[in-house]
Structure formats: structure tokens, C-alpha cells
Structure 1
Amino acid sequence: MGPARTPPRVFFLTTLIAAIVASSAAALSLTVGLPVWAMFVGWIAFYTRGLTTRSTFENLGCVGLGLAIGLLASLALPRVAAMTGPGVALPLVVLVVAFQVVSLRGLPAMNNLLAYFLGLVTWFAAHLEPTVASWLHLFVATAIGSAAGWIAHRLPARMARGDRPDRHRA
């Protein structure tokens, strides 16, 4: 629903909720020592496809696999450079990685090409040591962002429908 067809009150409430959720996710990321920019990569990944709970997990999974492929590529680069020279190593590793990632678009699920590339970009932009701990560091940041995107999308819709927990249930 675009702003032209959204009542001003709903538009404002949706915007306010998104801003509060973004601020909270940024604060959480800072508190636990995660890069806020990587949290926003997860938020972006949420909005690339689906906007459902299932697609939230699939998109985040694609980001996580993109991060892992980036980690493996960064481990392969020095080894390939030792065999071919640095001028050949990077294009060769990029060829293999791009072929692999673009091929994943044919999977029946987990086929979000954009989310895979978001994971790769996040990995290489972070300039971290290629370790599982580094992967986990970035994955948790993107997971916070994906969760924040899901909350920012779902909460206004639930409020507009009047979905509220029944306080009288035991």
C-alpha cells in the first residue's frame, strides 16, 4: 500500500514504528558489539522478497550462505594467488564464486540471488579475518536486521487489523 492510498494516521504510525524498531536494532547491535551497517544489510535482505515469516528465514539463510561463500573465497584467494599470481587469482576466484552463487537461483527454495550477494558484499566490506567467529559476528548482525525488518513490517499491519492478545486468556 503506497502513501497515496494510506490514511495519514496509518502512514505516520507505520513510519514511527519502523523508526523505533530501527533505533532499537541499532542500539542492540551496538550494545553487543556488532556493526550497525551489517544489521541494516539484514533489514534490506528481509525486504528483497516475500515479507512472510518463511521468506524471512529463507532470505536470512541466503545471506548466511553468501557470508560463508565469501569466507571460503577469502581463504582461497591467497592459495590461488600462490599458484597463479595475484593478478589472476582475484578474477579466477570471482569467476568461481559468481558461477556458484548465480547457479543457486535455480534452487526450489533458498534461491534469493540478491540476498546471496548481500552476504558476499557484507563479508568483503567487513574486512574481517576468515574465521567462523567472524562469520558468526556478521550473521548475528544480519539476523538482528532481518528480525527488525520483520517486526517493522508485521507490527503496523497487526495494529491496523486490531490484533491484540486477549488479556483474559490463561
Structure 2
Amino acid sequence: MTLSLKLINAAIYGTLGAIAVFLAATLGWPAWILFIGWISYFQFGATLRNAGNTIILMSLGMLLAMFMTLCAGWLAPYWGNYGILPVVFILIAALSFLEHDKWFGNMAAWFLGMVVFFAAGHPPELTGLPDLGLPVATGLLFGWLSAWLFSVARRNLTTHNPL
């Protein structure tokens, strides 16, 4: 990559990163959730189709984590803090059966969804899913936008620069 392209790429990432943080702060979203989505765009194939699959699987991972939390709460009177152990064992073991499925097999996306839910500290309520899913989806969009802007810049630079 030429120095010109590196500078353009840096400007694209810097500008979009600042816009992303501003947007997250304005909307009251944790910026880290948005950046998980941005990273996921590149980690899981860097296409819009893969981004759609990723947001679905991450959302399902968030729902699974909510369900785990509810089940652990139901077991808490009997198992205390250890109620989460059989829940995680059973649900993650069941999830592993999807590992080789073409559509549902992206285990990393499922687990990232669970990480987002647990790290955000939200109660296990469906009404909180948009508070987590929208920043992830926006991050995926920022990932696509950064890749698209760079491809446009690269195409224009190579077309107009004979070096």
C-alpha cells in the first residue's frame, strides 16, 4: 500500500471513529458495543450478506445470554451462585450442534452476542435488546462504510495517478 493510500485510510478510520464515538455519546450507547460491531464486520467476511448474518447471530447470542440469566435466577434458590453452571453447560453444549450449519454455525458471533449482553450488565428483558443490537448494527454499518470509502479512494487514486 502506498503512503497516499495509507494516509487516506488513516483519515477514513479516524474520521469515522470520531463520528462513531460522537453518535454513541449522543444516543447514550456504550461506544465499545458499537466498536464490537465494527470489528465484527471485518472479522466475519467484510460483506453486507455476512454482516446481516452476524447481526442475527449476535442478537441470538444476546437472547441466549438473557435466557441463561433467567434460568440461573430460577436455580439460584437451590444452587446459589452455581446455578449458572448447569445452564451454561446445557445451552452451550446444545449450541455446539449448530457449529457446522451454513447459516447458524458462526460460533464467534453467538459468543460475541453473549459477551455484549453480559458485559453491558442489562437485566434479562427483551426491551433491552435494541439498546444492545442497535449499536452493534451501527458498528457493522461503520465497518462497511469504512471499507467502501477506502475502495472508492483506492479506485480514484489508481485511476488518476499513473505512478
TM-score of the superposed pair, with normalisation by structure 1: 0.85
Aligned to 2:111: 117
Match of 2:31 among 36, 42, 53: 36
Go from structure 1 to structure 2 and tell me whether the alpha carbon gap of 1:148 and 1:100 turns closer, same or farther (over 3 Å shift): farther
Which residues of structure 1 form unaligned runs of 5+? 1-5, 164-170
Q: Structure 2 unaligned runs (5+)?
A: 158-163
Q: Which residue of 2 aligns with 1:147?
A: 141
Matching residue of 2:80: 86
Aligned to 1:98: 92
SS at match of 2:103: coil
The equivalences for 1:17-36 within 5 A come to: 17-36=12-31
- Cα contact 1:71–1:130 (8 A) shared by 2: yes
Q: Contact 2:69–2:84 at 8 Å: present in 1 too? A: no
How many Å separate the matches in 2 of 1:72 and 1:97?
A: 9
Moved >4 Å (runs of 4+): none
CA separation in 2, counterparts of 1:108 and 1:90? 29
Q: % of aligned pairs identical?
A: 24
Equivalent position of 2:9 in the other structure: 14
The number of residues matched between the two structures is 157
Contact 2:68–2:84, Cα closer than 8 Å, also in 1:
no
RMSD: 1.7
Task: Tell me, yes or no, if structure 1 residue 72 matches structure 2 residue 67.
Answer: yes
Determine which structure has the larger helix proportion and give its number: 2
The answer for the alignment partner of 1:167 in structure 2 is none
Q: TM-score, normalised by structure 2?
A: 0.88
Cα deviation per residue 1:8-67 (whole Å; 9 max; x = unaligned)?
110111121012112111111111111111111111211222111111111121111111
